Structure 1
């Protein structure tokens, strides 16, 4: 499995992917999920993939070579929309070629991609592409996309990232999102690839491969965990059966209306009687056993 996240901000783009792949508990591999298509000064585009590795590698190879009847390719597409359409066409061609054979062996045609970047003359754009080759585009109301094991890293992004978020803050948030995923799912693993692109540069601005020795990522992992514990411990404990005049944030008041849904036991089921035998000390039990 994998986890990838891409963010489109006013200031540019942030991409982060892991490199874990596995076909079983004893067959774990490392394959990089991020690919860059770049002509400095003209275009910078990033593709991240999740799903079946053989499918995604075939798509990557095909889209790098694909030309439409009018001569368009990912290397000369006039817009990011056209480049995304070409990527979707590559997905459909691989599906037409391989899906039936994979299905005969019980393998689903499973792939998803995040694709984003900037072509000279237009703004940064970000797309999510599905197994059918169709896609959607990020807008201000939904400024990021995730693929793979998305659920663990989603809450922090929802709380923090907006179009106005700086690239550094977005990168920090993406790393926290990845750390949450790494801690909760063994199918996601190091090393990570992170690319941060500043709008208008038309070339990769910042790129880093992060492994377990990266000091900044280790700081993120340790500090974020400690801060979460500190915030948790600072929250008040719930108050139960509180009198109506009790001040503060009460979870349950004495006059609250609410009962659980209780399932009636079948006829003939009788609750066992509770023994009220006095408690004995260990020494009493020992001497009683000697008598």
Structure 2
């Protein structure tokens, strides 16, 4: 399992992904799941993957080496796509091609064809966009009303994003909130873990502004985790206790009332 989140706000895009993969309790490894395709001044694209590692790696290889366009017969790579929409279609086509090749073998081995991607960034001449691409190759797009998308083990980090992120959120506040979302996921699910990869792409820059990996023991992330835990404890202590308790001296009946 993994956790990846993309946040698209007014000033740009934040994407983060953990690196933990496992094929059982005694077979845990670290693999990069956040991949960048950058040509400064032309495009800055980020692709984060969840699901079967062999499938996601095959898809990424096809995006780099090229997949055939059914309309033209030409090989197209992620670096050739003229728009973000066309690039998202290319990712979907690569997924379907990998499914055609490896799907029967996975089914024979009683394994699911399980993969999903977050794909975001900007290509020169077009807007910045963020998509979630499913294992069937179809996709949805992030909107102003819902400025984030998640893949993988998303349920633990979603409430924080729901409450704290809007389209107008500052770019680095969005990064901070995404990291808190990641921390909450890591605390609740041991299959998600450090290191964490981060990319920040500012709107219209057509280049990455931050590319960073958070390793075990990094001071900022450790401080963020401690401060968030302290803030949560202080918040719940500051809220009055529910008024549903038994008044002192009352006697409970047979059914507890």
TM score, norm. by length of structure 2: 0.92
Determine if the alignment matches structure 1 residue 23 to structure 2 residue 27: no
- The aligned residue for residue 55 of structure 1 is 55
Instruction: Return the match for 1:206 from 204, 210, 214.
Output: 210
Instruction: Return the match for 1:240 from 215, 233, 244.
Output: 244
Provide the secondary structure at the position in 2 that maps to 1:205.
Answer: strand
Determine if the alignment matches structure 1 residue 114 to structure 2 residue 118: yes
Instruction: Return the match for 2:83 from 73, 79, 95.
Output: 79
Provide the secondary structure at the position in 2 that maps to 1:142.
Answer: coil
In the TM superposition, what whole-angstrom CA distance separates every residue of 1:11-44 from its partner, at most 9, and x where no partner exists? 0000000000001111111111000011111001
- The aligned residue for residue 179 of structure 1 is 183
Aligned CA distance change for structure 1 residues 199 and 226 (closer, same or farther; 3 Å) = same
The unaligned stretches of length 5 or more in structure 1 are: 244-259, 261-291
Aligned CA distance change for structure 1 residues 5 and 241 (closer, same or farther; 3 Å) = closer
Provide the secondary structure at the position in 2 that maps to 1:227.
Answer: helix
Determine if the alignment matches structure 1 residue 41 to structure 2 residue 41: yes
In the TM superposition, what whole-angstrom CA distance separates every residue of 1:145-166 from its partner, at most 9, and x where no partner exists? 1001100000110011111111
The unaligned stretches of length 5 or more in structure 2 are: 248-254
Greater RCO, 1 or 2 (C-alpha within 8 Å, sep 6+): 2
- The aligned residue for residue 104 of structure 1 is 108
- The aligned residue for residue 159 of structure 1 is 163
Structure 2: distance between partners of 1:149 and 1:230: 27
What displacement does 1:70 show? Answer: 6.3
Moved over 4 A (4+): none
In the TM superposition, what whole-angstrom CA distance separates every residue of 1:160-195 from its partner, at most 9, and x where no partner exists? 111111111000000000000010100001000011
Determine if the alignment matches structure 1 residue 128 to structure 2 residue 138: no
- The aligned residue for residue 89 of structure 1 is 93
Provide the secondary structure at the position in 1 that maps to 2:55.
Answer: helix
- Report the count of equivalent residues: 244
Structure 1: distance between partners of 2:244 and 2:187: 33
Larger radius of gyration: 1
What displacement does 1:241 show? Answer: 7.2
- The aligned residue for residue 284 of structure 1 is none
- The aligned residue for residue 153 of structure 2 is 149
Aligned CA distance change for structure 1 residues 195 and 241 (closer, same or farther; 3 Å) = closer
Structure 1: distance between partners of 2:49 and 2:32: 9
- The aligned residue for residue 274 of structure 1 is none
The structure where strand makes up a greater share of residues is 2
- The aligned residue for residue 13 of structure 2 is 13
What displacement does 1:140 show? Answer: 0.8
TM score, norm. by length of structure 1: 0.81
What displacement does 1:73 show? Answer: 3.0
Provide the secondary structure at the position in 2 that maps to 1:195.
Answer: strand
